[in-house]
């Protein structure tokens, strides 16, 4: 299995620019050129046409020809021959609803788990790679017909993770929210991915990408930071 799961897409440098070395390495394992099927369904305030253009322009210099499934007469047929699957960020609930409605949820899962296609997601696209979308930051703006997602990995991701707690803010921190989740789901690992980071999975190897590392949560254990680099077995990924 060949996965690249990013916390975010945009940065001061440009769209996906910070992740280009990781994208090059990821794409090289399944022919660095050719069509890449893009799933724009997380876009809500951004039109799917505009989203396709944004991603296509960013990845064209890498030799990837991006085509959005929303333009296709038979997206399921296209998925059955896909070599690269790209799932963009936005609202996770909107994304999951459309994936389920179109039948692409099962189709993507089958194609990627078989090893026939590589998968890259960012933000919401990383969330849906998990068993559920229960650790998303998004508001449930629509009913996705269930919280179960692609299940490409056994852990949960929290994209855009931050330890920030503004002065005067009386609400729960992100860490508190994720510890609530692991209290109720003690056998499930959660990785908080700060901006500019990601998780790379190739076969049985897993690596944290980005100098900021990742925040690890599991059960009642004290959360800790994982450094950039190979993930050790004791993290229970």
User: Which helix H or strand E contains 177, and what residues bound it?
Assistant: helix 174-184
Classify 87 as helix, strand or coil: strand
Helix axes 92-102, 104-113, angle to 10 degrees: 90
Question: Which of the residues 138, 165, 202, 204 is marked catalytic?
Answer: 138
Q: Are 127 and 157 in contact (CB under 8 A)?
A: yes
Please report the beta strands in 103-154, taking only residues with DSSP state E, as ranges in sequence order. 118-122
Question: Which of the residues 7, 9, 123, 126 is marked catalytic?
Answer: 123
Strands 64-68 and 34-39, bridge-based pairing: parallel
Annotation says 165 is catalytic: no
Which residues in 93-132 are b (16+ Cβ under 10 Å) and which e?
A: bbbbbbbbebebbebbbebbeeeebbbbbbbbbbbbbbbb
216's tokens = 């690890």
Question: Which of the residues 30, 35, 160, 202 is marked catalytic?
Answer: 160
Annotation says 138 is catalytic: yes
Residues recognised as catalytic: 123, 138, 160
């Amino acid at each position: 299995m060949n996965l690249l799961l990013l916390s975010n897409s945009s940065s001061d440098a440009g769209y996906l620019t910070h992740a280009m070395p990781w994208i090059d390495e990821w794409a090289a394992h399944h022919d660095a050129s050719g069509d890449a099927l893009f799933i724009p369904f997380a876009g809500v305030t951004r039109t799917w046409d505009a989203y396709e253009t944004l991603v296509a322009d960013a990845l064209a210099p890498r030799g990837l020809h991006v085509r959005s499934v929303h333009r296709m007469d038979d997206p399921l047929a296209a998925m059955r021959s896909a070599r690269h699957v790209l799932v963009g960020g936005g609202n996770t609930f909107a994304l999951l609803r459309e994936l389920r409605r179109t039948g692409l949820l099962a189709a993507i899962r089958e194609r990627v788990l078989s090893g026939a296609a590589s998968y890259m997601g960012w933000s919401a696209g990383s969330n849906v790679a998990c068993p559920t979308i229960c650790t998303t930051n998004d508001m449930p703006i629509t009913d996705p017909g269930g919280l179960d997602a692609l299940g490409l990995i056994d852990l949960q991701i929290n994209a855009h993770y931050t330890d920030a707690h503004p002065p005067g803010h009386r609400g729960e921190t992100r860490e508190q929210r994720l510890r609530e989740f692991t209290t109720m789901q003690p056998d499930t690992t959660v990785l908080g991915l700060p901006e500019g980071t990601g998780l790379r999975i190739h076969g049985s190897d897993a690596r944290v990408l980005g100098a900021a590392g990742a925040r690890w949560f599991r059960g009642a254990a004290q959360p800790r930071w994982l450094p950039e680099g190979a993930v050790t077995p004791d993290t229970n990924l």
